[in-house]
Every structure is written in structure tokens, then in C-alpha cells.
Amino acid sequence: MSAGSTILRCVLLSVAVIVAAFGSAPASWACYSGLVLIPTADGTGPYIWALVLQWQGYSRALKTDQLVINTEFGWGERFEVGVDVDATSGSVENRALLNAKYLVVNSDAKRFALAAGVQNVGQRFTPLFYVVATKDWGVDRTHAGVQHEEDGSRNELFMGLDRSIGERWQIMADYTAGDQNAASAGVLWMAEGWQVLAGVQWPNAGGAPVAVVHVVFTGACRRSKG
């Protein structure tokens, strides 16, 4: 079997599994590779898939107010695309949302990357476009960008910071301007094939902080040699 047919089969199988398992689940906002809340110029990776179980809310442990299923697939070196649904019990919507990101600039010499993307692509939802730059300073990385709603009502700046500690830990914080947005901080633990992110969001408009837990499973659609 050729490399191209192997990759295509993997993509189609992944989509089929997602649709079969979550096709009737309610809609939510789309996800992307990034920090707790904001996107970065990072990508999923060439032909790497990711499945993210995202809990968030105010209650104890994982009995939170919302469960979101996020998926992502890295199509080559520069492009990623995902399908996301809201699996919260009691929700009434039955829509899937799409997200996509393209790496416009990637300079290893300058440790700088620039990406453009879109989320919330689906019926009855307003797409949200964004541009984000990531700079690696050696000790830590900074991220800054702007997001724009298609209806033109809002343009909001966002920024973030992350730092790796050893090979398995990463700490991060981010902020997005606007009363409807929030600041957040989190800690990521990484193992082979899966990751766990625990964080807290503080709404800009005030109110109780929101707990967030992401469990991420990843794998590769490998090319065959035949």
C-alpha cells in the first residue's frame, strides 16, 4: 500500500470514528493546539492525531458543568484541522464545530513562528479568526495575537507565556482582553501517548474561578514502506 493511501485511510478512519461516537453530541467552541485558553503557533505535528477530553466548571473533581470533546489532526508540517463537540449531559444542540490553523512562518534560526487560524466554524455559530506569533527565548516562550469575530463587532488582543521544566512538565499562563473572556494558568504533565493539563480560569467580568482539566491522547498515522 502506498504512503498516500495509508495516510488517507487513517484520516478517513479517524473522521468515521469521531462522527460515529460523537455525531449526535451538542456543539461547543472549537479547540486548537495552544495553552489553557489561547492558541499558539504550535501545530499538532505531521500526521499526528489528538483526542482531547475537556472538563470545566465549578463543581468538585470531574463532575463539572461541561464536557467537551476536541479532536485535531496535523496534515503535513504546517496545517492542522479538527472537529469538536459538546458532550455535556442535558445539552440540546446537535452541531459539530470545525477549527483549522496554518503555520505561515517558521524560523528555527530566529526561534519564531507565526500562524493564522479559525475556530467555531459551523451553523448558527460566528467563526472566530485569529493570528498569533510565538517566540522562543530559550528559558521560556511568549505568545501574542489578535482574534476577530466575523461579524466585525470585536477585535481582542491576547497574550501568553509558557515554560518547560524537564522533559515532562510545562507551566503556562494567558490572558484575552474583553469582558466575555478570561485569564488562566495551568500545569501540563506529559507522557508517551498522553498528557494531562490542569488549570484555572478567572473571568474578566468577575465571578468565581473555573476549573479546567484536559486529558489528551495522541498517536501517529504512520506511512507504510510498501
Give domain limits for the chain: 3-220
Per DSSP, the three-state class of 28 is: coil
Residue 136 β-bridge partners: 141
Q: Which residues contact 45 (CB under 8 A, 6 or more apart)?
A: 74, 220
User: With 70 as the cut, is the pLDDT of residue 25 above it?
Assistant: no
Instruction: Tell me which fold the domain 3-220 belongs to.
Output: Porin (2.40.160)
Per DSSP, the three-state class of 51 is: strand
User: With 50 as the cut, is the pLDDT of residue 141 above it?
Assistant: yes
For 48, list phi and psi in degrees, rounded to 5. -105, 135
Confidence at 64, pLDDT banded by 50, 70, 90: low
Number of Cβ within a 10 Å radius of residue 24: 11
| C-beta of residue 57 within 8 angstroms of C-beta of residue 66 | yes
Query: What percent of the chain has pLDDT above 90?
Result: 47
Confidence at 10, pLDDT banded by 50, 70, 90: very low
Per DSSP, the three-state class of 9 is: helix
Confidence at 105, pLDDT banded by 50, 70, 90: very high
Cell of 201: 480560569
Cα–Cα separations (whole angstroms), residue 6 to 28, 196, 221: 31, 29, 8
Q: What is the pLDDT of residue 15?
A: 38
Which strand (E) or helix (H) includes residue 158? strand 155-165
For 7, list phi and psi in degrees, rounded to 5. -65, -45
Please state, in angstroms and rounded to a whole number, the distance separating the CA atoms of residues 38 and 144.
9
User: With 70 as the cut, is the pLDDT of residue 52 above it?
Assistant: yes
Which is it for the CA torsion 222, 77, 123, 199, positive or negative?
positive
Number of Cβ within a 10 Å radius of residue 194: 14
Confidence at 70, pLDDT banded by 50, 70, 90: confident
User: With 50 as the cut, is the pLDDT of residue 182 above it?
Assistant: yes
Q: What is the pLDDT of residue 128?
A: 87
Q: What is the pLDDT of residue 17?
A: 33
Confidence at 84, pLDDT banded by 50, 70, 90: confident
% helix, strand, coil for the chain, step of 5: 10, 55, 40
